[in-house]
Amino acid sequence: MRQAFVFPGQGAQTIGMGYELAQHYPAARAIYAIADQVLGWSVSELCFSGPEAQLTATENTQPALVATSLAVLAALAGDMEQIVPYTCQHAVAVAGHSLGEYSALVAAGSLTPTAAIQLVRQRGVLMAAATSGCMAAVIGLDDDSIDQICRSVSTPAAAVVVANYNSPGQTVISGAASAIEAATEALKAAGAKRVIALNVSAAFHSPLMHDAAQALAAHVALTTILAPVIPVISNITAQPLLTPADIANELPAQVESAVRWVSTIQYLVADGVTHFVEIGAGNVLSGLIKRIAPDATTTTITDVASLNAYRAQTNA
């Protein structure tokens, strides 16, 4: 069975995530201890107890979710230092949705947990500081039609683009408020079942995030990045990131580029992956994957029961 490990992004967070695993596994506690130390405040307490308003703030959500994914993976591996060997033994590739790409890079040995948490804290702060534009989810319309409509309503002063190719029939657009409004009317007229405004502070994964991307690049430039020891599939190109330079270019560009999750999963399936293991909080990615690749099987690992079930199934 060829497996890929996948890691969720922003929106997967829930109060209580990671708590049970941290109670049972020293390796999970060790990850949260690193995160608390790096941040200078208790992200573990925020994950375990909330409050929700603080947990859902972008600058907090991002390190909280990466810490939780890494805590789950460390618990699976049995030791924080065994994350990369464990991943290489049990997966043929890794991928993460947007923010989740940082967890994937740790799993592949390109970033340390400390570096990943430091970077996503900066990423979250920079993205939270951006206040231009908005986003909307488009349900029930094909990607080509959405792309064409975004281009047709965009102007140099007010553009809208596809931000997330999540699954067939679920796509997210991002851009200037006036362009989103014009696109919404055109998308509905073209047959979209629904266009749902998203509760976000800015137009993530769009050119309006250029300043945040440039600022993040300065932090990435100061970070030690190693070549991945297992393929990490890029959000931007849906192809493997092969070198530290690839990764250093990817991370800032990702903030203002579309997340090509459909193409990512299609690439992995074409490469022979038949099973996807979602590691972290929730099961959002498993749902998307089943719509992209109906013949693939999925497993979510979020707590002690699901971790033990996976181990029993795979003898891992």
Separation CA 306–CA 87 (nearest Å): 17
Whether 55 and 79 share a structural domain: yes
Q: What confidence score (pLDDT) does residue 316 get?
A: 59
Is 219 noted as a catalytic residue in this protein?
no
The residue from 44, 69, 98, 257 that is catalytic is 98
Distance CA 277, CA 93 (A): 11
> Catalytic pick from 97, 205, 219, 257?
205
Kindly state whether residues 108 and 224 are assigned to the same domain: yes
Distance CA 302, CA 280 (A): 5
The range of the structural domain enclosing residue 174 comes to: 134-201
CATH number of residue 188's parent domain: 3.30.70.250
Please tell me the total count of domains within the chain. 2
CA dist 67 and 188 (Å) reads 39
**89 and 102 in contact (C-beta within 8 Å)?**
no
Examine the domain organization and report whether 268 and 236 are in the same domain: yes
Residues 92, 238, single domain; the answer is: yes
Phi, psi (deg, nearest 5) at residue 38: -60, -40
Backbone angles phi, psi at 216, to 5 degrees: -65, -35
Crossing angle (nearest 10°) for helices 143-153 and 177-189? 130
CA distance 49 to 244: 37
pLDDT tens track of the chain, all 316 residues?
899 999 999 999 999 999 999 999 999 999 999 999 999 999 999 999 999 999 999 999 999 999 999 999 999 999 999 999 999 999 999 999 999 999 999 999 999 999 999 999 999 999 999 989 999 999 999 999 999 999 999 999 999 999 999 999 999 999 999 999 999 999 999 999 999 999 888 999 999 999 999 999 999 999 999 999 999 999 999 999 999 999 999 999 999 999 999 999 999 999 999 999 999 999 999 999 999 999 999 999 999 999 999 999 887 5
CB–CB of 39/313 below 8 Å? no
Residue 203 near residue 181, CB atoms below 8 Å = no
241 and 160 in a common domain: no
* pTM for the structure as a whole: 0.96
CA angle 174-179-180, nearest 5°? 50
Of 201, 228, 259, the last residue of a domain is 201
> What string of DSSP letters covers 46-114?
HHHH--HHHHTSHHHHHHHHHHHHHHHHHHHHSSGGGHHHHHHHH-SEEEESTTHHHHHHHHTTSS-HH
Name the nearest CA neighbour of 122 among 47, 217, 7. Answer: 217
Separation of alpha carbons 91 and 227, rounded Å: 17
